[in-house]
Amino acid sequence: MFLATPWWVNLLLFVPAGTYMFYRSRGLSLDKKALAAGFAFGMAFGFVEAAVVVYLRAASGISPGSPGISAAIAIPAGALPSTSQVLASMPESLVRIEEVREAATIVMLASVALLGARTAVGWLALFLWTFATWDIAYYAGLWFTIRWPSSLLEFDVLFLIPEPWISQVWFPLAVSALTLFAVMAGRKPSRS
């Protein structure tokens, strides 16, 4: 059984190692100011995204403990819900809003990286750095506001584009934490 579905989402496990090897051999030249700005943006935007999800859940009656997605996708322990289960449990209007919100999130994270990096290689590293920070802050924001997830073993829909990506919460958190480490470890030693 794969860790996530669809199967190709599991390839994200290679992102931290690939990032480390790529930048370690080339020497990543990103200054502390760019990393700090990407980190600050990722933390703030992650919380904003968490708040949006809390508001959407509340507005649609699918907050934790209420009937809705949680009740509709009664997921047995250790089983991944199917794409059809996920899509059938969400109102179509919310699916469309979520898809546009997800696309806008990627554009915003990419734009911040473009503003903070001088090269394409630096842009990719800063994008990964900011994305990973945002992802961790998103789950932290959900936990601090609504105490979800109650366990890192709970399932979540990570993205809907091009189809629902589903995994346990520990999976994106592990990939993001390892990506942060890989970017830091791939930086050139500073000459001071």
Instruction: Please tell me the number of Cα atoms within 13 Å of 134 on its side-chain side.
Output: 22
The answer to whether 34 and 114 are in contact (CB under 8 A) is: no
Report pTM: 0.85
Residue linked to tokens 């990722």:
42
pLDDT of the residue at 189:
66
pLDDT of residue 69: 38
Domain residue ranges in the chain: 15-185
Preceding omega of 162 cis (within 30 degrees of 0)? yes
pLDDT of residue 76: 45
Tally of helices (H runs) and strands (E runs) in the chain: 7, 3
What is the per-residue pLDDT for 125? 95
Mean pLDDT split into 10-residue runs, the chain, 192 residues? 85 95 86 94 97 82 49 45 64 83 95 93 95 98 92 90 92 97 84 48
pLDDT given for residue 128 in this prediction: 97
**CA distance linking residue 190 with residue 182, whole number of Å:** 16
Q: Which pLDDT belongs to residue 85?
A: 63
pLDDT of amino acid 48: 96
Residue 146 CB-half CA count within 13 A? 20
